Structure 1
Amino acid sequence: MRAPLATFDLRKVELTPLEQRKLTFDSHAVVTELENSGFEKRQAELIVSALVTLTTANMDIVYKDMVTKSHQEIAVQQIMAHLDSIRKDMVILEKSEFANLRSENTKMKRELEQLQSRMKEESQKVRAESKLDINLERSRVSDMFTDQEKKLMEATSEFYHKVPRLCTTS
């Protein structure tokens, strides 16, 4: 004899928080089925009670880390919003960093122009001082040459004055 296929009013259940989750089979129908199979009423109720306890504990373990589709969609939306916020912050940081770099570049360019201007001024001063030194040295050498020529002329003149006397005395 074949046992009748028993269904205990199983229903598809949407996942709910642990506090609101309930066992979804007809426990009275299971007790009745057990009594029809030869169990006493007290035994059948005890077995169903144990089944309910075990099933509830198992459901708590299995569903503890699961989420509903709507909860998952909400979490994804929150993550996407957070990512958008991070992207905006990154764009703002990039722009401010670019502005800072541009400002530093402008500042360095100004400083370089000032240094270039100072270098030109110093170079012109050195050039002018060198020209002045060269001209002074040229003038000093020229004066020295003139003095030497003058002394040479005086010595030559003195020599010629003394030469005729040397010729007449001999």
Structure 2
Amino acid sequence: MLFRRTIFTNHHFNTNKLVTKLEKNGFERGQAEGIMRTMKGFIGHHTNRIRRNMLTKSDLDNESYLFKAALTELRTELQILRKNDAAALAIKTEIISREIDSLNQKLHEDIAIIKSDIAIDMNSRKGDVREEQKALEIRIQSMSNRQMAQLGDMRTKMEAAKWEATRKGMVSIFISATIILLISRIFFKEEKLPDDYIDPYVNHSNAQNNSDGIVPDSFVVSHRT
């Protein structure tokens, strides 16, 4: 009913041609015209709706001007923001650069302090090592002297033992020789010689001794030889 009451002055398509095609396809004249009017009303309604929503040229120019003004304002704001950001970034960069310089200086100072501490520790350690080395050398020398003294004592004891063994051996030999000599004297004293035996090695001064039956040492020696 809405489409029928609406009066359309513009035809958006060939209505007569549409009605003819519908009649050829089996529709009656009234049905074909009804379909044509319905389509015409539908198209006209939506066309009017689109036209109502469309802008006029003046509105379009006004909107374009407003858009350009807003765009210019936005560009200006962006430039200001960019400048502010650049200035803030430059300030931050300067602050960071100063902090980096301060950190570098502090780092160099810390490195110098560490190097000094290391040098002091190294010198102290070298002194400790030298003292330990001297103490070790003293201990080694003391041990060496002690060992040399012990070796000297052992050598002295060995020499004393050798001398004692030699002395005991010489005493044993002397005692053995004395015993053998005494046994030989006793043995030769018990032998009886003829009264008329004259020993050519005996002196005439010893004749009295011979007459008493005492055998002189020279006789014993000559007899043993």
TM-score range for the pair, normalised by the shorter chain length: 0.5 to 0.7
Deviations 1:23-80 (A, max 9, x none): xxxxxxxxxxxxxxxx623321123314544675698689868833x65444333322
Counterpart for residue 5 of structure 1: none
Q: Does residue 126 of structure 1 match 2:169? A: no
Deviations 1:102-126 (A, max 9, x none): 1111112111111111111111111
Counterpart for residue 106 of structure 1: 127
Largest Rg, 1 or 2: 2
Alignment of 1:12-27 (within 5 A): none
Q: Which of 70, 81, 89 matches 1:49?
A: 70
**Secondary structure in 1 matching 2:89:** coil
Aligned equivalents of 2:185 and 2:131: distance in 1? 80
Q: Which of 83, 89, 109 matches 1:67?
A: 89
Counterpart for residue 117 of structure 2: 96
- Say which is worse superposed, 153-162 or 131-140, in terms of deviation: 153-162
Counterpart for residue 79 of structure 1: 100
Counterpart for residue 176 of structure 2: 155
Aligned equivalents of 1:101 and 1:151: distance in 2? 72
**Secondary structure in 1 matching 2:158:** helix
TM-score by length of 1: 0.62
Q: In the TM superposition, what is the alpha-carbon distance from 1:159 to its structure 2 partner?
A: 1.6
Aligned equivalents of 2:107 and 2:160: distance in 1? 77
Counterpart for residue 61 of structure 2: 40
- Say which is worse superposed, 124-133 or 57-66, in terms of deviation: 57-66
Corresponding residue pairs, total: 132
Counterpart for residue 16 of structure 1: none
Q: In the TM superposition, what is the alpha-carbon distance from 1:166 to its structure 2 partner?
A: 5.0
Aligned equivalents of 2:65 and 2:165: distance in 1? 140
Deviations 1:124-170 (A, max 9, x none): 11111110111011111101111111111111122222235556659
Ranges in structure 1 where 5+ consecutive residues have no aligned partner? 1-38
**Secondary structure in 2 matching 1:130:** helix
Counterpart for residue 159 of structure 2: 138
TM-score by length of 2: 0.49
- Say which is worse superposed, 87-96 or 111-120, in terms of deviation: 111-120
- Say which is worse superposed, 100-109 or 75-84, in terms of deviation: 75-84
